[in-house]
Amino acid sequence: MNQDNDITLIRQFNRQYTQYLGVFDKEIFNTDLTWSEARILLEMQLNDLETVTSIAHFLKVDKAYISRIIKKFKKQDLIELVQDKTDGRKQLITFTPAGLMLLETIDTASNAQINNLFTDMSQADMSIILQAMQLMTTALDTKEEDNHVAN
């Protein structure tokens, strides 16, 4: 790896792609959520994350940060907190009908956004990009697994 050039290219790609996705927009997809909040909501659903601890662990972020976001979601009536029947100390997070509708809206808008980004690309270029994404995902997952084994 030619560190200086490679790092510059990777960082440039990250900045450009996050700009395309609107990561820094105050609201995402005409909702009251920031990009981070929408991502947390989606990850909760996709990965069956039902506690603050499981969300924080999965996303590798501070529990206090997740707790604040969960309070916001509860205030917006997107989630409910219910007592765990097997462990009275735990509160489980469940989605309200409004939360499920918002998730569907975000998911549909996210798919449309990605489709719009790549719609004019040739099939050959798209194939190269998808292969590169798969390679990156596999390499990063392997590195993450190696880090867990080493620790």
Contact 76, 32 (CB under 8 A): yes
Does residue 139 fall inside a structural domain? yes
Pair 27, 97 in one domain: yes
Does residue 28 fall inside a structural domain? yes
Query: Percent of the chain scored above 90 by pLDDT?
Result: 60
Does residue 81 fall inside a structural domain? yes
Mean pLDDT of 4-22: 85
CATH of the domain at 62: 1.10.10.10
Domain that holds residue 64: 3-107
pTM, entire model? 0.80
- Looking at the structure of the chain, the number of domains it has is 2
Pair 60, 94 in one domain: yes
Q: Return the biggest CA–CA distance within the chain.
A: 55
Tokens of 76: 């917006």
State the pLDDT at residue 141: 86
**pLDDT one-digit tens code per residue, 20-41:** 887 777 778 888 898 899 999 9
